[in-house]
Amino acid sequence: MRTVHRVWLCTLLLAAPLQAQQDFRFGVLGLFHPHELELLPEEGQALSVSADGATATSALVLNGEPGHRQLLFRAEGNRVLAGSRSASRWTATARDGGAVSFRLAVPEKFHRIYRARLTIEARNGVLLAVTAMDQETAVASIVAAEMDEAAPLEALKAQAVATRSFLAAGPRHLDFDFCDTTHCQFRKSPPPLTSRVFSAVQATRGQVLAYRGKPLAAMYTSRCGGQTRTLRDVGMEPGEAYPYYSVRCQWCRRHPATWQSKIGASGEPPRPGNERSRIAAARQWGWSAIPGSDFTVTADNAGWRLEGHSVGHGVGMCQMGASGMANAGAGFREILSHYYPNTELITLP
Ligand SMILES: [Zn+2]
Ligand SMILES: [Zn+2]
C-alpha cells in the first residue's frame, strides 16, 4: 500500500457541496509553473483542439499522423499560443466533445496521461491546465493512486466512498476544484474499466459519508499504529466540522511496525502528534524523514533521532486496518462505520 502524506489543513475550509454528477475540474501540472506544455493523443485517439469561440470546423486535429502528432502550447501573458495561433483559452476533447485519452507534458521534465476534457489558459505567463471529468472517473483515478489494486475489494469500496465524500464536500481552489498535489490528492490516470478499482467504484456508485447531513471531506491515513486520532489530538480545532474519533485498529496492533530517521539539529525538534509541526518538519527535511505523526524524539550529537509507529497523520480510516478488516470478513459499510463513527452513508441524487 502506498504511503500517504496529506497536507490536509484546508479540509476545514469547505465551500458549499457540489451537485451530484457535476463534472469535477482538476488543475494539473501546476507545481511546474509551466510556460510550455506539449499535448499528444494516446494511441488510436483523435483530439479536437479549438480556440475559445472558434467554430468546430476550425478545430485543429491531433490524431498521431504526420503533421498531427503533437501541439505545443506557450503562455504569452494571459494568452496562449497553440503552434502559431493565439487565443485566450484552448479546449481539447474527443471529436464528439467528450473525454479523450491524451498525454500532457512539461517538455523535458514530466508527463502524465489523462482521460478527460482539457482546457488551457494562461495567467501572467504561466499555463493553467485543467482536466474535467465526471465524478466516478475522478473517484476511480484517486482510488487507483491511493490504494494498491491488490487490496481486498471491500477495502477498495471503503476507499471509494471516502474519496467520493472528499470530492462531494466541495472545491478547494478558485480556478478549478482540486489540484494534483498531496493537497488535493489527484495524481493518476483513471484505471482500466476492467480493473478491481473500477469495480469497487461502480459497486458504491454515488455513495458518500455524511456528517450532520453534509458530505464529509473524509481524511484517511496509511497506517495508524493501533489507534486513530481525533482532530484535536493532532492540534486542530474541529469547530463545526466532523471532529473524528480515536478508534482502536486491530490490524495495526497485531502488525506493529516502526520507522527511524535522523534529522539535523537546527531549531526545535518536531512535536509528536502535531500535524502542523510535522508538515513544517516535512517541508524542511522531506516527508521520508517524518512519515508519521506518532514518534519519539531523542537528541544525539548530530541531530534528532526519530522513531515512529504510524504512517500518515493518523486521522480517519486506516488503510492498512481497512484491508485487515476486509480480510477478516468485514464489508465496506462496517469498515466505514468503524473508522468514521457518527457518520451516515447517503447516496447522492
Ligand atoms: Zn489542492
Ligand atoms: Zn491502523
Q: Quickly state the pLDDT bin for 56 (edges 50, 70, 90).
A: low
Residue 148, pLDDT above cutoff 70: yes
* Residue of 302, 303, 313, 318 lying closest to 277 (CA atoms): 313
Query: How many percent of the chain have pLDDT more than 90?
Result: 59
Q: For residue 187, what pLDDT is reported? A: 66
CA–centroid distance, 332 to ligand 2, in Å, is 16
Place of cell 478508534: 247
User: Relative to the alpha carbon of 250, which ligand is closest?
Assistant: 2
Please give the torsion angle defined by the CA atoms of residues 42, 44, 47 and 48, in that order, rounded to the nearest 10 degrees: 180
Q: pLDDT at residue 58 above 70? A: yes
Q: Give 269-281 as a DSSP string.
A: PPPTT-HHHHHHH
Strand order in 259-263's β-sheet? 259-263, 303-308, 295-300
**What's the average model confidence in pLDDT over 54-76?**
87
Residues 6+ apart with CB under 8 A from 181: 30, 31, 187
The ligand minimizing its distance to the Cα of 254 is 2
Q: Where are the beta strands (DSSP E) in 178-294?
A: 178-179, 207-211, 214-215, 220-221, 259-263
Give the distance (Å) from ligand 2 centre to CA of residue 238: 22
- Ligand nearest to C-alpha 173: 1
Give the ligand with the smallest distance to the CA of 321: 2
Ligand nearest to the CA of 316: 2
Identify which ligand lies nearest to the alpha carbon of 187.
1
The stretch 193-214 carries a mean pLDDT of 95
pLDDT for res 7: 35
* Of 235, 227, 136, 240, residue with least CA distance to 190: 136
Please give all residues whose CB falls under 5 A of ion ligand 1, grouped by chain where several chains appear: 172, 179, 183-184
Distance 149 CA to ligand 1 centre (A): 24
pLDDT above 50 for 6:
no
CA of 24 to the centre of ligand 2 (A): 31
Ligand nearest to the CA of 249: 2
Task: Give the ligand at the shortest distance from the Cα of 167.
Answer: 1
Ligand 1 centroid to Cα of residue 303, in Å, is: 33
- Of 95, 88, 58, 54, nearest to 73 (Cα)? 88
Residue 5: the pLDDT is 36
Segment 152-164 mean pLDDT:
97
**344 alpha carbon – ligand 2 mean position (Å):** 21
For the chain, what is the mean pLDDT? 87
Q: Is the pLDDT confidence value at 21 over 60?
A: no
Interval between CA 250 and ligand 2 midpoint (Å) = 7
Name the grid cell of 114: 489523462
> 10 Å Cβ neighbour count for 106?
19
Tens-place pLDDT, residues 215-271: 999 999 999 999 999 999 888 888 888 999 999 999 999 998 888 888 877 777 888
